[in-house]
Amino acid sequence: MTKYEDAKRCPKCDQPGELKGTSVIERGARVETYHCMNEDCSWFNTGWAVQINRDGSIPEHNTSDPKQFALPDWAKNAADREINQTAHLFGLDRDPEDPEYGKAITNDVPEIRRP
């Protein structure tokens, strides 16, 4: 079995996945999206991506390195707006010049109790 054939298999049950889509990315590589169709698998109908480089090679699976591409400005700006709006709702507005600005606010958020 080739590495490509391995990559098309479900990471959980090892059954061949069903190709759901293909897209071309930077540098001429393509990404194929597969879904597990094994109803007995915990990943049933869950997708995963397989990158195929221009030369046909499949990059090693690596989740420990930082992402190769930075978050686009439009996404970062939208996330920052949501964080600031949430902080404002909880009365946690902070000055960007404050050294604590941008740190996790989870410890400041009051506990929500359900009836």
pLDDT at 15 over 70: yes
What's the domain range around 40? 3-52
47 and 8 in one domain?
Answer: yes
Structural domain includes residue 115 = no
104/86 Cα distance (integer angstroms)? 12
Structural domain includes residue 42 = yes
Task: Count structural domains, the chain.
Answer: 2
Overall pTM > 0.85: no
Structural domain includes residue 21 = yes
Sorted by sequence, the CB contacts under 8 Å of residue 2 that are 6+ apart come out as: none
Sign of CA dihedral 87, 88, 92, 94: positive
106 and 79 in one domain?
Answer: yes
106/82 Cα distance (integer angstroms)? 14
pLDDT at 1 over 50: no
Q: Give per-residue pLDDT as tens, 31-81.
A: 999 999 999 999 999 999 999 999 989 987 766 666 566 677 888 888 888
72 and 46 in one domain?
Answer: no
